[in-house]
Each structure stands twice: as C-alpha cells, then as structure tokens.
C-alpha cells in the first residue's frame, strides 16, 4: 500500500551476519524484524567490522519473540541509531493473539533497566490481573490477560487447554486469553514484562516447557532426581 516490497532471506542466511548485511545493503532494506538474540549477534558483527555506514537504508528495526534487554538497546543506540538514526521498537504477543499485541518505541535518551513491552495496539485490550481476578493498579504485579479482534478461538482438538486458557473475564465482559506472563503497569501506562508465572522459558522465540524436559530425563536408568 505504501510502495514497499518484501525481501525474503535465503534459508539459513539469518545465521550469518555477513550475508545478512550484504542482503540489506544490496536491497536497500528499510525495515527489518529480528528476535533480540539474533539482533544482538548481528550488531556484534556490525560493530566489530565497522559496517554501520553500509546499513544507512535501515530506518526501523522491530524486535519480538523473546525479552529485549537493556544491553541490546544500548548496543543498538551506539551503532545503528547514532550512525544512521535508525529506530528500534519492542513488540510483544503470543501466537494465541496472532501475534503481536503491544509495542514500545525505544527511547535512547533514557534507557530503563527493564525495557517495556509497551501499550496495546488498535483493537486490542490488555488487563493486569491479580490472584483473585482483581485488576491490579499501577506498579503492582499480575498476570497479563488480553483480548480483542486478534484473539484465536482456542487450541485445535484440545478442549481442556482451551477452557483453561481462554476464559470469560468479568471485568472485560468478554473472553480473554491468560498468557501466563507476569507483568506490571507503569505510571506512563506502558507494560513491563517480569517473567513467567510457571516454568516456561523462551529460547530464540521458541516456547520451552522445563517440566517436560525433566519428565523425559527422569525416565533414564540411573537418574534419581533432576532439575532444569
């Protein structure tokens, strides 16, 4: 709609910063989407090889899939922002919400210790919910509930999990998805991700259930107890 074109990387190119840099330069890429750990590796290459000027076409970088760290933002500021005035946005969203539901434009003048996941996008509502289903005030921790036009109907052929995760929330007066993510609301109404309420972790954007790994390891002969 705005005259841009989509450039797809060859399979595996995302693992090689040199090849990725060449693709960006050759195609004058203006917007690029990373998961934070991949962006960090890419920036390491850019800084070590002084490639900032060859990436002047980049005006916007988007991150999602795992937690964006303060160190990532500082590295971006010192490389692409200061040299090319490129901007960085942090997005958040689970697959069940197809997909990103909040955004935060990173502020390079004052980088917080915890990078917010931001505010809801259009047609999306966010709730911070306490242990007794109460709405949590500013500064108080709670589970992130979300709803809106983006919400999935549930899990295929898994009614039990669907009923557990997609629930009617009275304060919203509609079905919400319980993300399992622990968050809090800041005074500027941005949301900060604090961790999980269970043992799930994300590695390069993939959900990993630590309990499942422990269960499999515990089946091996000679292993009496294990902890991931």
Mean pLDDT of all residues in 3-31: 92
A 10 A CB-CB count for 4 gives 9
Tokens of 187: 């005074």
pTM, to two decimals: 0.86
> Which helix H or strand E contains 162, and what residues bound it?
helix 159-165
pLDDT tens profile 78-108 = 999 999 999 999 999 999 999 999 999 999 9
pLDDT tens profile 102-116 = 999 999 999 999 999
Instruction: Classify 76 as helix, strand or coil.
Output: helix
Tokens of 88: 């960085």
Backbone angles phi, psi at 213, to 5 degrees: -65, -45
Reported as a pLDDT band with limits 50, 70 and 90, residue 34 is: very high
């Amino acid at each position: 709609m705005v005259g841009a074109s989509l450039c797809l990387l060859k399979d595996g190119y995302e693992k090689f910063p040199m090849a990725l840099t060449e693709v960006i330069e050759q195609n004058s890429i203006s917007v690029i989407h990373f998961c934070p750990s991949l962006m960090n590796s890419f920036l390491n290459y850019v800084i070590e090889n002084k490639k900032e000027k060859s990436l002047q076409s980049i005006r916007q970088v988007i991150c999602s899939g795992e937690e964006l760290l303060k160190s990532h933002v500082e590295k971006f500021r010192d490389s692409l922002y200061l040299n090319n005035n490129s901007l960085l946005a942090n997005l958040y969203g689970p697959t069940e919400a197809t997909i990103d539901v909040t955004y935060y434009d990173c502020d390079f003048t004052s980088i917080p210790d915890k990078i917010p996941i931001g505010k809801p996008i259009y047609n999306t509502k966010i709730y911070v919910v306490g242990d007794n289903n109460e709405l949590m005030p500013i500064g108080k921790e709670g589970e992130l509930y979300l709803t809106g036009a983006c919400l999935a109907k549930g899990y295929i052929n898994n009614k039990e999990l669907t009923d557990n995760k997609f629930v009617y929330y009275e304060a919203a007066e509609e079905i919400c998805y319980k993300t399992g993510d622990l968050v809090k609301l800041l005074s500027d109404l941005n949301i900060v991700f604090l961790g999980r309420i269970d043992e799930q972790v994300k590695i390069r954007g993939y959900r990993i259930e630590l309990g499942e790994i422990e269960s499999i390891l515990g089946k091996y002969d000679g292993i009496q107890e294990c902890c991931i």
